[in-house]
Amino acid sequence: MNFPIASLERQEPAAETAAPAGRVHHFYKAYGLIVSSEVSLPELEPAAPATPDLEIAVGPVDFPDGASPGATAFRFEPTRQYLSWHAVGTFMISGGKRIDVDPAPGVDDPLLAFPLLGPVMALALHRRGLLVLHASAIAVGGKSVIFMGDKGAGKSTTAGAMIRAGHRLLTDDVVALDLSDPERPMILPGFPQLKLAADAAGAIRLEQAEVRPQVHPQIDKAQHRLSDGFAAEAVPVSRLYVLERGARAAISPLTGGAALPAIIKFSYVTRFGRQALPGDSAPVHLSQCAQVAGRVGVSRLEVPAGLARIDEAVAAIEADLASGIR
């Protein structure tokens, strides 16, 4: 399990840093939810005040049995899940409806948002019954593509190239699938932000994106906030790709029983190991993965090495969608 924030060094607070006197309730929308948050999350789309589906509050969190100093610690209970990073803070998820945030000394909201909108949000969505993938998703007309892959495979880079080609971002890093209709898995839109490494950002040059300030010196990817090119409505799942590097752009279906292990591998909750699936949640999760594997399938997408050839992958994806062959 590899989370970029696990290796961050805690930054010493400046001498003038002081605890805020109070927290403001912000209202946002993401993943089909109204979110009330005491943490400022400008990455999300603003919403009018309303009864929230998910509440994010700032306050003390007592990690059961304590977390070792300097360590990353997780604990999963039937009704609560705890995630703690020494350099950032401790988070407690309660029933998928509330997230309590206990910041480490000197940590501000932009750094809190890094895990909060990543692994913490992914687990909260999982607790709400959604199938959550560590992936990126793009809307192409009324269809969609999901990019899965190992670290460095180029998920966000390929998503960025698709946006430059005129398609729209659904979500980056955390893909939440609503399986309430077994015949029509839906991708819930996340928020209009894409994380790109400097070389990828330089090659793709998204004109409709604002680059947000770096949240920590050790986080190499920059956050690109889209002013245009975001799909705000849920879209049916059309294609799932596992990205690999290749000599040329090529797409080939995974045959036999290979699709199910691929979806399981890139589901977000499996990054935490078996401990994150207590009781009957493991067979439920397996059933969800099997449902998507059987209904949609998975293909291998070979992406040519070198950013200068990323548009070859875009063309292959567009041709695959146009073919209509599943």
All structural domains of the chain, each given as residue ranges with its CATH number in brackets, are 21-127 (no CATH), 131-323 (3.40.50)
Q: Residue 11: what pLDDT? A: 54
Burial of 286 (0-12, 13-18, 19+ CB in 10 A): middle
Q: How confident is the model at residue 187 (pLDDT cuts 50, 70, 90)?
A: very high
Distances, alpha carbon 309 to alpha carbons 139, 244, 301, in Å: 21, 14, 14
CA distance 52 to 97: 9
Report field, pTM of the whole predicted structure over 0.85: yes
Q: Do 173 and 148 touch, CB atoms closer than 8 A?
A: no
Q: β-strand 222-226 against 193-196: which pairing, if any?
A: antiparallel
208 or 215, higher pLDDT:
208
d(CA 158, CA 140): 13
Count other C-beta atoms under 10 Å from residue 307's C-beta.
16
User: For residue 104, is pLDDT > 70?
Assistant: yes
pLDDT tens per residue, range 54-102: 999 999 999 987 666 667 899 999 899 999 999 899 999 999 999 999 9
